[in-house]
Amino acid sequence: MLKMKMKSKNECAGRMNALEVKGLTKIYPEFTLDKVSFCVPQGHISGLIGRNGAGKSTTLKGILRLIAAEGNVAVFGKDIIKDEMAVKQMIGYVGGGFRYYPMNALAAIRKAYEPFYPTWNQDKYEKFLAQFGLSERKKVKELSEGMKVKFALALALSHGAKLLIMDEPTSGLDPLSREEFCDIILQLVREEGVSVLFSTHITSDLMRVADDIVYLSQGKILAACPLKELLGKYRLGRFASLAEAAEAKAIGIKSVKDGYEGLLPRGTRRSNHVTVGEATIDNIIVHLEKANEEKRYAEAD
Amino acid sequence: MLKLIKKEIALCLHPTAFIFLSFAALVFVPNYPYEVIFFFSCLSVFFCCMMTRENGDIAFSCALPVKKEHIPLAKMLVVIGLQCIILLLVGIIGAIKGAILPAEQYVNQAGISANIVLVGNGAILLGIFNLIFFPRYFKKPDKIGVPFAIGAIAVFLLIGVSIVLRWATPLYSITLNGLNSEHTGAKIAALGIGIAVYIILSAISCKLAMKRFQNIDV
């Protein structure tokens, strides 16, 4: 497994972290989440990225103890196992859209939900409903996907959550709704100091809001660092032939329309046969995954 | 815990949980195996668990600020509450039947009469159902059919045993049968044994379900 050795500014020690995950491990017959460790600094938005099946949802579920996983999880310094109820009071969880109780009205769900949170703020909740254009008389099944996400957000934010954990909240949303979602998240971070960890594979959302990136591949952390640091680490090299790409030791060489592409660590000497451009997150993910895949095949052989 | 129980009642109870309570009135049907009434109570548990699954309630509850092991406990306490209500209703409606009908019409030709021994038998049936169903269900809350089928088979076998005892043994056909006012001491003892068995089996079931639920992946 190719592993990026980054001198990360996102090191957990020496700062107040909203979330610290250490050695989170979950073993399934077909998949292992392998000692995942990272942190979300207070007031930051961290994006959890990786291809389908990389372990993003497993990581989030492990953090919330929705699955029986090993490892330590601390929220604002409190251990989730020792202080499960206090920690969960600080967390607002949005599991994608709101997939629960489709036949129930929003009011019925809110009435069952709010007693669990002594800090529940009804005025704030009503303000969010008005802002999001939600009616409590509607049933969950009558809401669009975007509205479901907004309802989940309204519930999560009205009890004063300090840490928002969201599992692919923008999947299935149209571009306008995604933009609106990003605006809401930025507003929450700026105005209320909320910290956010959200998984996604829509990288444009990350570019829009994320401060940090946690990149998972095959159940392992490949990178956990500020977004700018990750983007600054690589450049995208375009080559006319495979031999030139191999000679330049490009990472994750891939055939494209006009030749070959691969990642070049920033600072490597540029040969005459390469055209270099800025690498996007998509480029970085695609080429690192390709490099990993090749390494796995080589090991299997 | 009270908040979880309220949530269960508000969001997870299937209407049949209440409708089947009214089946306690079946004790007025002449010559009917009255223990079947308690099977309907078990059936309502099945529907509630289906509703829990279709609503994604387990995942929703696990994200709430509650201890994970309290989630099965709350669900079971609601079921136990409903079971206590049906036992009570069968006892009360059976007593009313005894008070308003002649003794010869009160005696049940298909099984035990609607007296307090029936309540004791029902408690044993429900206790055994709880012990079989809940630990299996909370091990894999998405799989409801197999635990229910095993529980239902056990309940019907016990109903069969109860009917056989009614005809095969003088204890059941004479001493424990008929009006509550006859052989009252023996009937109270049978009721007490039934309730004790129910409490013990349900408590074991709760413990096992809570332990197994800790290890599930939502």
* Residue range A17-230 in CATH 3.40.50.300: yes
Residue A6, pLDDT above cutoff 90: no
Q: Give the one of B10, B57, B68 whose C-beta lies nearest to A65's C-beta.
A: B68
More confident residue, A185 or B84: B84
Q: What pairing do the DSSP bridges indicate for beta strands A91-94 and A17-27?
A: unpaired
**Chain B interface includes A99 (CB < 8 A):** yes
Please write the tens of the pLDDT for every residue from A85-143: 888 888 888 876 788 899 999 999 999 999 999 889 898 899 888 888 888 999 999 88
**Domain boundaries, position B55:** 2-24+31-214
Ordered strands of the A17-27 beta sheet: A32-41, A17-27, A70-75, A78-79
- Taking the CA atoms of chain A, what radius of gyration do you get in angstroms? 21
Within 8 A of A118 by CB-CB distance, chain B residues are none
Please write the tens of the pLDDT for every residue from A159-184: 888 899 988 887 777 788 788 888 88
Q: Give the one of A86, A100, A115 whose C-beta lies nearest to B60's C-beta.
A: A100
B97/B57 Cα distance (integer angstroms): 41
| Cβ atoms < 10 Å from Cβ of A181 | 22
Delimit the CATH 3.40.50.300 region(s) of chain A: 17-230
Digits of tens for pLDDT over chain B (218 positions)?
Answer: 888 999 989 888 888 988 999 898 888 888 888 989 999 999 999 999 999 999 889 988 988 888 888 999 999 999 999 999 999 999 999 889 888 888 777 777 778 888 899 999 999 999 999 999 999 999 988 889 999 999 999 999 999 998 888 888 878 777 778 777 788 888 899 999 999 999 999 999 999 999 999 888 88
**Which residue in A239, A225, A229, A228 sits closest to A277, CA to CA?**
A239
Give me the helices (H) in B21-144, please: 36-54, 57-62, 70-100, 103-106, 116-137
Which of A 37-66 lie inside 8 A of B, CB atoms? Answer: 61, 64-66
Q: How crowded is the C-beta side of A135, counted as CA atoms within 13 Å?
A: 6
Residue of A nearest to B51 (CA): A101
pTM of the model: 0.79
Within 8 A of A99 by CB-CB distance, chain B residues are 56
Place of tokens 């933009």: A179
Q: Is A260 helix (H, G, I), strand (E, B) or coil?
A: strand
Q: Quick one: B31 exposed, middle or buried, by C-beta within 10 A (0-12, 13-18, 19+)?
A: exposed
Please write the tens of the pLDDT for every residue from A212-237: 999 888 888 888 888 888 888 888 88
Secondary element (H or E) of residue A237:
strand A234-239
* Domain count of the fold of chain B: 1
Task: Provide the pLDDT for residue A15.
Answer: 65
Q: What pairing do the DSSP bridges indicate for beta strands A212-217 and A45-49?
A: parallel
Interface contact B59-A66, CB threshold 8 A: yes
Please write the tens of the pLDDT for every residue from A7-33: 344 456 656 888 989 989 988 888 888
Chain B residues within 8 Å of chain A (Cβ atoms): 3, 6-7, 10-11, 54-57, 59-60, 62-68, 214-218
Question: Measuring CA to CA, how many Å separate B174 from each of B165, B178, B186?
Answer: 11, 7, 11
Q: Give the one of A61, A84, A99 whose C-beta lies nearest to B218's C-beta.
A: A61
The nearest CA of chain A is from the CA of B210 a distance in Å of 14
Largest distance between two CA atoms of chain B: 58
Please write the tens of the pLDDT for every residue from A30-86: 888 888 889 998 888 999 988 888 888 899 988 988 888 888 899 888 888 888 888
More confident residue, A144 or B50: B50
